[in-house]
Amino acid sequence: MYTLSNRLRLFSIILMVVGLVGLVIGFADRPGSVEEVKEMMAAHDAHGSGHAETNDHGEDAHGGDAHYEHVLHQLQNKPWASLYIAAFFFFMIALGVLAFYAIQFASQAGWSPVLFRVMEAITAYLVPGGIILFVILALSGFHVNHLFVWADPEVVAHDKLIQGKVSWLNGTGFIIRAAIFLGGWLLYRHFAVKYSRKQDEEPQGNKWYKKSFKISAGFLVFFIYTESMMSWDWIMSFDPHWFSTLFGWYVFASLFVSGITTIALITIYLKSKGYLEFVNDSHIHDLAKFMFGISIFWTYLWFSQFMLIWYSNIPEEVTYFITRIEDYKLPFFGMLVMNFIFPLLVLMNSDFKRVNWFVVMAGIVILCGHYIDVFNMVMPATVGGSWFIGISEISAVLLFLGLFLFVVFRALTKAPLLAKGNPYLEESKHFHY
C-alpha cells in the first residue's frame, strides 16, 4: 500500500494556496475601465522608448477609444482564459489516461496490468477536475464571462454566421452536452475502478474482468464520439467562424500523449520511492515508445490541419493560422519544437527509452509543450494580441497542478498498487523486451 507522505501533501497544498492567491490577484488586477488600460499601456510604452513613435502612429489608425476598449475586453478575459486553459489541461491528462486504460482492457493487453493502479489513480482527478470544468463552462456558456463570443447575444445579433449555428451553439445545449460527456466518462470511470477492485477480491472465473472488458469496449465507442464533440464545444467554438474536420482527432492526440506521459512520470516517481517493484525497464520502455509514437501522431495531425489550410488559403480558414503566426509566433513554433522535434530526437534511440531521467526530461518537455498547445488553441480567440505569460497563467497552473497531485496521490493510497486479480498479471510481471 502506498502512503501519502506529509511532504508531498504539504507541497500540493502549498501549490494550491499559492495558485489560488495568485489567481485572486490576477482577477483583481484586471483593468476596470478604458482609462486604466490607457494608463497601463502608457506605462508600458514608457519602458521601451524605441516603441513610442510607432505606437503614437498606431493610436491614430485605431481611432481613439475603440482600440482601448478592445484591449480592455481582452485583458478582462485574460484571467478567465488562463483559468480555463489550466483547468482543461489537467482534466485532459486524466481523460487521456482514462482512454488509455479502457484500451488496455478492450485490447486485452498483457504488458500493462502492473500499471493499472497508477492509471486508476490518475483518472480519480476526473471527478474534481470535471466538476470545476463544468462550473467554468456553465459560467462561460451563460456569458458570465466573455470567453465564448457566441454566448454574447449582442454579438450574435450582428453575426450571420453565428446565427446559423445557434441551434448548436447556445448556452443550454452547451451545458446539457457537457453534462452528458462528463456524466458518461465519470460513469465509466466509477464502474471500471469498481470492477477492477472486485476482481482482486474474487478472481475465480474472471467474472469482473469480463465485465471490465465489456464496459471498456462500450466506453471507447462513446468516448470517441463525445471527445470529438467536446473538442468542438469546449475548444473550437472559441473561434465560432472557423472549423476543421479533424479537430477532434487533433485534441485527442494531445490529450492521449499528455496522459501517457503522466503515467510514465508518476510510475518513475513511485519506483524511485521504492514502490512498484514489479514494474521493470520494459514497462517504462513501452510507455516511452507510446510517448514517442503519439508525439509523432500529434504532429501528423497538426501538420495535416495546417498544410491544407495554408495551401488553400481560403480567408475564413486561414485567418486562424494568421492570427497565431502573427501574434503568437514564439508559442506557436516553440510548441512544434517541444512536441515534435524534441521527443523525436531524444526518444528515438531504443536504449534512451529505458533511462529514467531521459524519459522524465522528455516527459516534462512534452507536458509543457501540450500546455502551450492548449494555450494556442484558447488564447488567440479570447485574449488576442494582449497575451503574455503573467501571474494569472502561472497561478492557474500551480493551482490545478496542486489539486492534481493531491487527488492523484491520495487516490493511490486507496488500493494496493498491484491489481493482483487481473488474469494477465503474470504475463505483465514477466514482460520483457
Eight-class DSSP state of 147: S
List Cα–Cα distances, 81 to 118, 205, 235, in angstroms: 30, 50, 11
Smallest gap, in angstroms, from Cβ of residue 175 to another protein?
39
Q: Are the beta carbons of 242 and 320 closer than 8 angstroms?
A: yes
Within 10 angstroms of residue 35's Cβ, the number of other Cβ atoms is 12
Which set of grid coordinates corresponds to residue 381?
480567440
Smallest gap, in angstroms, from Cβ of residue 345 to another protein?
10
Query: If binding is defined by CB under 8 A, does position 213 make contact with another protein?
Result: no
Query: If binding is defined by CB under 8 A, does position 313 make contact with another protein?
Result: yes
Stretch that binds another protein, among 92-100, 204-212, 223-231, 304-312 (CB under 8 A): 304-312
Which set of grid coordinates corresponds to residue 241?
467562424
CA distance 335 to 217: 33
Query: If binding is defined by CB under 8 A, does position 315 make contact with another protein?
Result: no
Smallest gap, in angstroms, from Cβ of residue 309 to another protein?
10
List Cα–Cα distances, 304 to 249, 298, 405, in angstroms: 11, 10, 35
Smallest gap, in angstroms, from Cβ of residue 433 to another protein?
10
Query: If binding is defined by CB under 8 A, does position 333 make contact with another protein?
Result: no
Query: If binding is defined by CB under 8 A, does position 307 make contact with another protein?
Result: yes
Smallest gap, in angstroms, from Cβ of residue 332 to another protein?
13
Q: Residue type at 217?
A: A
Which C-beta is closer to another protein: that of 225 or that of 303? Answer: 303
Which C-beta is closer to another protein: that of 14 or that of 348? Answer: 348
Exposure on the CB side of residue 77, measured as CA atoms within 13 A: 26
Which C-beta is closer to another protein: that of 107 or that of 350? Answer: 350
Query: If binding is defined by CB under 8 A, does position 314 make contact with another protein?
Result: no
Which C-beta is closer to another protein: that of 49 or that of 313? Answer: 313
Total residues binding another protein (CB under 8 A): 9
Stretch that binds another protein, among 84-92, 302-310, 322-330, 372-380 (CB under 8 A): 302-310
Stretch that binds another protein, among 94-102, 249-257, 301-309, 361-369 (CB under 8 A): 301-309
Stretch that binds another protein, among 58-66, 306-314, 375-383, 408-416 (CB under 8 A): 306-314
List Cα–Cα distances, 368 to 206, 243, 362, in angstroms: 40, 26, 10
Angle between helix axes 356-382 and 247-272 (nearest 10 degrees) is 140
CA angle 87, 388, 366 (to 5 degrees): 55
Stretch that binds another protein, among 159-167, 244-252, 262-270, 303-311 (CB under 8 A): 303-311
Query: If binding is defined by CB under 8 A, does position 303 make contact with another protein?
Result: yes
Q: Minimal CA–CA distance to 222: which of 176, 180, 253, 173?
A: 180
Which C-beta is closer to another protein: that of 204 or that of 312? Answer: 312
Query: If binding is defined by CB under 8 A, does position 348 make contact with another protein?
Result: yes
Which C-beta is closer to another protein: that of 266 or that of 347? Answer: 347
Query: If binding is defined by CB under 8 A, does position 306 make contact with another protein?
Result: yes
Which C-beta is closer to another protein: that of 160 or that of 432? Answer: 432
Query: If binding is defined by CB under 8 A, does position 388 make contact with another protein?
Result: no
Smallest gap, in angstroms, from Cβ of residue 349 to another protein?
8
**Residue 234, Cβ density class (10 Å: 0-12 exposed, 13-18 middle, ≥19 buried):** buried
Eight-class DSSP state of 338: I
Q: 254-293 mask for another protein (x: CB under 8 A)?
A: ----------------------------------------
Query: If binding is defined by CB under 8 A, does position 144 make contact with another protein?
Result: no
Got the DSSP string for 212-272?
HHHHHHHHHHHHHHHHHHHHHHHTGGGSTT---TTHHHHHHHHHHHHHHHHHHHHHHHHHH
Radius of gyration of the chain (CA): 23
Query: If binding is defined by CB under 8 A, does position 311 make contact with another protein?
Result: yes
Q: Are the beta carbons of 178 and 226 closer than 8 angstroms?
A: no
Stretch that binds another protein, among 24-32, 259-267, 300-308, 396-404 (CB under 8 A): 300-308
Smallest gap, in angstroms, from Cβ of residue 87 to another protein?
33
Q: Minimal CA–CA distance to 259: which of 127, 24, 89, 133?
A: 89
Smallest gap, in angstroms, from Cβ of residue 297 to another protein?
14
Q: Are the beta carbons of 59 and 67 closer than 8 angstroms?
A: yes
Eight-class DSSP state of 144: S
Query: If binding is defined by CB under 8 A, does position 312 make contact with another protein?
Result: yes
Residues in contact with another protein by CB under 8 A are 303, 306-307, 310-313, 348, 350
